[in-house]
Amino acid sequence: MSAPTVGRRSRGRTTRERVGGGSLRDPRRALALASAAVLTAAYVGVLYRITDVVGGTETLLALVAGTVVGAGLLARFLRPAVAFVLALALFVAGFAWYVLSVPNGLLLLNSFDSVLVDTAALLTGLSVLRITAAGTWALGFAPAPVFLSWYFAVRRRYVPAALVGGAALALFVLTGDAGVTLALLGAIGAFGAVGFGELERHGGRRAQGETLVVVLAAMVALPLVVSVVPGGAAGPLAPSGGGPATVEGSLLSADDRVPIQGSISLSPAVRFTVESDRGEYWRAGGYDRYTGGGWVRTGGSRPSPGLLREPPGNTTSLRQTFEAEASVNLLLGAWRPTSVSGAAAEGARLTELGGLQPAEALSAGDRYTVTSAVPNASPDALRGAGRAYPERIEERYLGLPESTPNRVERRTDRLTANAENPYDTARVIERWLEANKNYSLDVTRPGGNIADAFLFEMDRGYCTYYATTMVAMLRSQGVPARFVTGYTSGQQVAADRWVVRGLDSHAWVEVYFPGTGWVTFDPTPAGPRRAAERASVGDARGTNASSVDTGESADEPLTPTPVPGVDGSTGTETARGGQGDRAERLVEDTPAGANDTNGSAGVGPSTPREGAGNAAPGLDGGGGAGGEGGGPLGLPRPSREQVALGVVLLVGLTAGARRSGATGRAARAVWLRLPARGSPTEDTERAFARLEYLLSRRFRPRRPGETPREYLAVLDAGERARRVGTLHERARYGAGVSRAEADEAVALVDALVRERTPLLGRLRRSGGAGPDSI
């Protein structure tokens, strides 16, 4: 008759039921939705990090929550095709909003090429954080994938849901914003959603669910094992900090971001020689966006014109000629470079923050010349510079992550209560940091906000920590500041020659003053830093490593050489960020001898481990085992990640144990030894159940049709067992047993259990007792 009709009708009904949503009481449904939520959390987590850095977290969360609710409601009656169109519309609307809110956004649209280039850049590792209007971008991006994936999840179509969510996450994996942890979390969410969803659709049983849990736990645990195995992955997801990275490696990569690491070492290898009239800080690049766990440079770079704009205010011209002693991917120069020339600087690019970038890496022997206009405004001039900051400066250089604790601002308020102008504020902070924190390369990288942690929880750190903290404190006071990396002046080997080693790499602070521009401050105490550097060079020479020295530097004594006053300013409170201090600091020890301990890293900054990168410092490498070289699990300090990992392993092992029946056996073992007590009848029956269990372990279980009496007879069980059997028979089928008889049964079985207990029991059995021992 009309079988198809029936089929169609029933299918229709099923669909309606399914769309009905509800039935969260089905654990498979609940787990599948929870997994979908994990996946969503993974990529929304990336967006959250972005909005945390640039502002707008609450808006984002409200938007995501609203979208999830909306998707849940619409899923009841919207057809998939319509939903898809709606998601597309959301995406286009979000993108349009972003374009409209960006200055010159519409112009950008006209130049289709640049959109393509930007997209390609994003997909090849350009952090979303480098987008100038990253917050707007995040808000515009979020609704479409969240809507579509939840629409499908609520309709029980977990595969499309996982695909949409996975695509969103994949985008952030490509941009490098999703660290390994978030990516793994998302993968587990996607896998779990599909897996539990399939179980739900096909009526999977509990055992299958447990197997799935085991697999998920293995997904988390196995990457760790890989890193333990020799020759395993180079960048495992292990709750430990980077390996033996160098300060230089962490600061001076060609990348547009600086992650902050834990313990770190110094490379004594020579990088540059500089011919210059004066020692200066050789600046490599600046960073404007503080993510709480590191630094990002927003905006792009452009080809540098031959002559760059000079800063306003009084400047001193300084001509420097750099010669690379090793392969380096950097162009250095004292702030602020006005022109660059030489073969090596061909095609150099200029970042929006005034740093130079080479077209291609320099090799040993390459030379280039930079002319800089060094600002030399006096302290008084800077004090009087006022706070009339240009809007573009305020927008860019005052941002702090929303998650930055208020106590940073409160502490800074208190410290700088007497400072009446930005210059004094900067000086107070600089001095306070120099005086109150110890210099050390051996630190545990804190989780969360680095500035807050350094300010309140750490008593030591190195230049990255000092500079980061100072910038955060200044920004909390409304003073535009940025984080700068480069090299200190190095070892002076002649009146106008400086040898710059890897260990001279440094991070410091630039503060903006109207009328003067960016002025250098350095909150890192100079003495301890130099001592550490001297020790490193000494060690390297002691081991006869090569490339520690150039011909000139080898014979110089390892004693500080005072540097002639750099300019006419007086005292410590000089312009240009305390020139006096810096002058002292610029005095580098002059080592003699030659060699390289760190022979490795080659030149050019070793790339810092991006492992659980900067996108999610809250989730990554807080363990900070660093140079102490512990394995992933080698240290007895459980970090949050280790605890989380432990929980995952525990859940996996529990599920696995349940699958293998170990929990059941354990429960049995306890039950066997600690029986509950009740009425005489119950006690006797429990005693017999325990006896039966013992016998089943020793011989075989009682067959279905076998009566207890037959069972004991067939097994030729011993006297005590038969007595228990008789008592059990009376208790269960007859008039019952007395208290004394019940106790007798329990005592008999207790004795049998004791004899069966491993070790003791084994000894007894090996004593030749046959089956009758039970």
Partner 1 sequence: MNDTDADAESSAGGRSSADGGRARAGTAHPRGGSLSIEDVRRVAGDVVENTQKVIVGNRAAIEHIVVAMLGRGHVLLEDVPGVGKTMLARAIARSFECSFNRVQFTPDLLPADVTGVNVFNRKSREFEFRPGPVFANVVLGDEINRAPPKTQSALLEAMEEGQVTVDGETYRLAQPFTVIATQNDVEPSRTYELPMAEVDRFMKQLRLGYPDPAEEAAMLDRTVGTHPIESLEPVAGSETLERARTTVATVEVRAPVREYVTRLANDTRRRAELGVSPRGSLALLRAAQARAALDGRDYVVPDDVQREAESTLAHRVRPGAGTNATGRDVVRAALDSVRVE
Contact present, 315 and 373 (Cβ < 8 Å): yes
Nearer to partner 1 (CB atom), residue 456 or residue 733: 733
Nearer to partner 1 (CB atom), residue 369 or residue 681: 681
Contact present, 247 and 462 (Cβ < 8 Å): yes
Nearer to partner 1 (CB atom), residue 460 or residue 730: 730
Nearer to partner 1 (CB atom), residue 652 or residue 708: 708
Nearer to partner 1 (CB atom), residue 420 or residue 719: 719
What is the closest distance, in whole angstroms, from the C-beta atom of residue 2 to partner 1 in the complex? 35
Q: Report residue 355 CA to chain centroid gap.
A: 27
In angstroms, the CA 655 to CA 649 distance is 10
In angstroms, the CA 93 to CA 51 distance is 19
What is the closest distance, in whole angstroms, from the C-beta atom of residue 719 to partner 1 in the complex? 10
How many beta carbons lie within 10 A of that of residue 657, not counting itself? Answer: 16
- Omega of the bond prior to 739 within 30 degrees of 0, cis? no
CA torsion 141-147-149-151 (nearest 10°) is: -170
Nearer to partner 1 (CB atom), residue 388 or residue 735: 735
Residues binding partner 1 (CB under 8 A) = 702-710, 723, 726, 729-730, 732-735
Q: In the numeric block, which tokens belong to residue 216? A: 């998920």
What is the closest distance, in whole angstroms, from the C-beta atom of residue 754 to partner 1 in the complex? 24
What is the closest distance, in whole angstroms, from the C-beta atom of residue 705 to partner 1 in the complex? 4
What is the closest distance, in whole angstroms, from the C-beta atom of residue 667 to partner 1 in the complex? 21
| Beta bridge mates, 307 | 339
In angstroms, the CA 468 to CA 610 distance is 19
Nearer to partner 1 (CB atom), residue 703 or residue 739: 703
What is the closest distance, in whole angstroms, from the C-beta atom of residue 23 to partner 1 in the complex? 34
Contact present, 548 and 537 (Cβ < 8 Å): yes
Q: Among candidates 734, 719, 680, 725, which has minimal Cα distance to 702?
A: 725
Q: Among candidates 20, 32, 14, which has minimal Cα distance to 72?
A: 20
Parallel, antiparallel or unpaired: strands 367-375 and 481-487 = unpaired
Alpha-carbon Rg for the chain, nearest whole angstrom, is 35
Contact present, 641 and 619 (Cβ < 8 Å): yes
454-455-459 Cα angle (round to 5): 60
Parallel, antiparallel or unpaired: strands 301-303 and 315-324 = unpaired
Phi, psi of 518 (to 5 degrees): -85, 130
In angstroms, the CA 629 to CA 648 distance is 24
Nearer to partner 1 (CB atom), residue 113 or residue 719: 719
In the block, tokens 């320099």 appear at: 362
What is the closest distance, in whole angstroms, from the C-beta atom of residue 729 to partner 1 in the complex? 5
Q: Report residue 555 CA to chain centroid gap.
A: 45
Q: Among candidates 545, 553, 546, 550, which has minimal Cα distance to 588?
A: 553
Q: In the numeric block, which tokens belong to residue 648? A: 């995952």
What is the closest distance, in whole angstroms, from the C-beta atom of residue 36 to partner 1 in the complex? 43
Q: Among candidates 126, 122, 129, 118, which has minimal Cα distance to 51?
A: 129
Parallel, antiparallel or unpaired: strands 315-324 and 270-276 = antiparallel
Nearer to partner 1 (CB atom), residue 706 or residue 716: 706
What is the closest distance, in whole angstroms, from the C-beta atom of residue 722 to partner 1 in the complex? 8
Nearer to partner 1 (CB atom), residue 198 or residue 682: 682
What is the closest distance, in whole angstroms, from the C-beta atom of residue 733 to partner 1 in the complex? 5
Q: In the numeric block, which tokens belong to residue 86? A: 């709606």
Nearer to partner 1 (CB atom), residue 327 or residue 681: 681
What is the closest distance, in whole angstroms, from the C-beta atom of residue 744 to partner 1 in the complex? 12
Contact present, 616 and 237 (Cβ < 8 Å): no
Instruction: Write the Ramachandran bin of 129: left for phi over 0, alpha for psi from -120 to 50, otherwise beta.
Output: alpha
What is the closest distance, in whole angstroms, from the C-beta atom of residue 680 to partner 1 in the complex? 15
Nearer to partner 1 (CB atom), residue 306 or residue 705: 705
How many beta carbons lie within 10 A of that of residue 305, not counting itself? Answer: 9
Q: Among candidates 314, 375, 332, 317, which has minimal Cα distance to 518?
A: 375
Nearer to partner 1 (CB atom), residue 678 or residue 734: 734
Contact present, 108 and 114 (Cβ < 8 Å): yes
Contact present, 338 and 307 (Cβ < 8 Å): yes
Parallel, antiparallel or unpaired: strands 505-513 and 517-521 = antiparallel
What is the closest distance, in whole angstroms, from the C-beta atom of residue 706 to partner 1 in the complex? 6
Nearer to partner 1 (CB atom), residue 277 or residue 710: 710
What is the closest distance, in whole angstroms, from the C-beta atom of residue 203 to partner 1 in the complex? 25
What is the closest distance, in whole angstroms, from the C-beta atom of residue 191 to partner 1 in the complex? 41
Nearer to partner 1 (CB atom), residue 391 or residue 719: 719
Nearer to partner 1 (CB atom), residue 156 or residue 728: 728
**37 contacts: CB under 8 Å, gap ≥ 6:** 189
- Cα-Cα-Cα-Cα dihedral sign, residues 433, 438, 442, 448: negative
What is the closest distance, in whole angstroms, from the C-beta atom of residue 707 to partner 1 in the complex? 4
351-357-363 Cα angle (round to 5): 175
What is the closest distance, in whole angstroms, from the C-beta atom of residue 688 to partner 1 in the complex? 11
Nearer to partner 1 (CB atom), residue 581 or residue 741: 741
What is the closest distance, in whole angstroms, from the C-beta atom of residue 684 to partner 1 in the complex? 13
Contact present, 619 and 177 (Cβ < 8 Å): no
In angstroms, the CA 329 to CA 143 distance is 40
In the block, tokens 């350009």 appear at: 126
Nearer to partner 1 (CB atom), residue 206 or residue 709: 709
In angstroms, the CA 175 to CA 120 distance is 10
